[in-house]
Amino acid sequence: MIALDLHPSGRHFLQIPGPSPVPDRILRAMSLPTIDHRGPEFAQLGLKVLAGIREIFQTRQPVAIYPASGTGAWEAALANTLSPGDTVLMYEGGQFASLWKKLAERLGLKPEFIALPGIDAETGLPASWRRGVQADLIEQRLRADAGHGIRAVCVVHNETSTGITSDIAAVRRAIDAARHPALLLVDTISGLASADYRHDEWGVDVSISGSQKGLMLPPGISFNAVSKKALEASKTATLPKAFWAWDEIFEMNAGGYWPTTPNTNLLYGLNEALDMLLDPLHGGLPAVFARHRRWGEGVRAAVRAWGLPIQCADAAVHSPVLTGVVTPQGVDADALRKLIHQRFDLSLGTGLGKLKGRMFRIGHLGDCNDLTLMAALAGCEMGLKLGGVALAGSGVQAAMEYFASHPQQQPLKAAA
Ligand SMILES: *Cc1c(COP(=O)(O)O)cnc(C)c1O
């Protein structure tokens, strides 16, 4: 038996920003027997999840589902729409943007990285990793590209390494203002089903997501929502694509099937997650977004009370999914995480890339509620004290006050 199964009591607190804790209801749905993926029952499941996932992306366009982690769907978005040597404009807002750029290079594309220049004075960390995507920088760069050599603009909606949710509608407006024909590709791997996301309304050409964040599923399936313009581009794009090719997938999806073996049990889980997220009795997507915004507020109230900087320095783009907490110079955030894990069985997200050792991330997504979040914050506060970090005040107290004085819009229980 692996150590995971040896807990004497209670549950592990998986407070990382993905994989997120999976609700029991979804785990139970996934435990059903695997069925014939070419049989008649399967088509019902296939058609239902394909329709439901469109509602989550807020789109009427097709959505491809891959048996892969989010990285596979990143690759699929590029491979389907672009050709070798194409220039793509990518915005450096954090580590996931940097990884996507590396992937683009490996595919034979020419990514051009733009970012807000400079170092942030409060933390000594890169300025562009503390603010949202700057649409005006994208507009300037596209205006200078009179020959339209840039084929796509790639941005991350919810940058999971920093806790920043960028304004995608503003990026669309920037592309339109520059009258530029580039495709808009958006990574909403950790934004979808937690933060408001509108594939159609925001004019996104390919939206990329994954299962293990807001959808509350285990890792293993990922998505491309595809606009008509992107589908057209895929007909002439020449990067090699076989497994990722949209054409055969969409053709088979019309009948509720896939060309290769889909991840049947994860699709059971997706079906259950869609029922939970879209249930009108619980307020549907607007309630999902409000719930995450409120959790973010409560967690940030705690961080502010501790007197520690929040990685996101712009209140307009705080992520409803996670909060990045910057540790004081000289305090190793990873040593602190290790201590908290050992003492309280609480997993926190590590600082990624340029933030390594300087921050930890608290996920507020998946199967969680006010009280599980309070427990997670208590674990953080005890750990910070044990780690010798001087705190300005009690974050636990501040979060309790926030949650108590801001009831959920959607009552948890009907009045007796
Ligand atoms: C998790 C994540 C990824 C990577 O997805 P994998 O499932 O690990 O392949 C990419 N981008 C963002 C913003 C993410 O949060």
Q: What is the pLDDT of residues 275-325, one digit of tens each?
A: 999 999 999 999 999 999 999 999 999 999 999 999 999 999 999 999 999
> Does residue 19 have a cis bond before it (omega within 30 degrees)?
yes
Q: Which domains are assigned to the chain?
A: 13-20+283-405 (3.90.1150.10), 24-278 (3.40.640.10)
Ligand 1 probe mutation, 190, 224, 263, most atoms within 8 A of CB: 190
Could you give the CA distance from residue 130 to residue 120 in angstroms, rounded to a whole number?
Answer: 8
The residue whose C-alpha atom lies closest to atom 4 belonging to ligand 1 is 70
What are the beta bridge partners of residue 113? 90
Q: Provide the 10 A C-beta neighbour count for residue 238.
A: 11
pLDDT at 3 (0 to 100): 62
Tell me the per-residue pLDDT of 35-88, one tens digit each, with 9 for 90 and over. 999 999 999 999 999 999 999 999 999 999 999 999 999 999 999 999 999 999
Instruction: Calculate what percentage of the chain has a pLDDT beyond 90.
Output: 94
Are 10 and 345 spatial neighbours (Cβ–Cβ below 8 Å)?
yes
Q: Is 363 in the pocket of ligand 1 (CB under 6 A)?
A: no
| Residue bearing the CA closest to ligand 1, atom 5 | 70
Question: For all residues of the chain together, what is the average pLDDT?
Answer: 96
Q: CA–CA distance from 27 to each of 31, 215, 228, 238, 268 (Å)?
A: 6, 13, 35, 40, 9
- Per-residue pLDDT, averaged over 79-98, amounts to 98
pLDDT digits (tens, 9 = 90+) for 113-147: 999 999 999 888 899 999 999 999 999 999 999 99
What integer pLDDT is reported at residue 2 of this predicted model? 62
Give 213-248 pLDDT, tens digit per residue: 999 999 999 999 999 999 999 999 999 999 999 999
Given the CA of residue 157, which atom of ligand 1 is nearest to it?
13
Which tens digit of pLDDT belongs to each residue from 356-374? 999 999 999 999 999 999 9
Query: Rounded distance, CA 272 to CA 309, Å?
Result: 38
410 pLDDT band, cuts 50/70/90, is confident
pLDDT of 6 reads 63
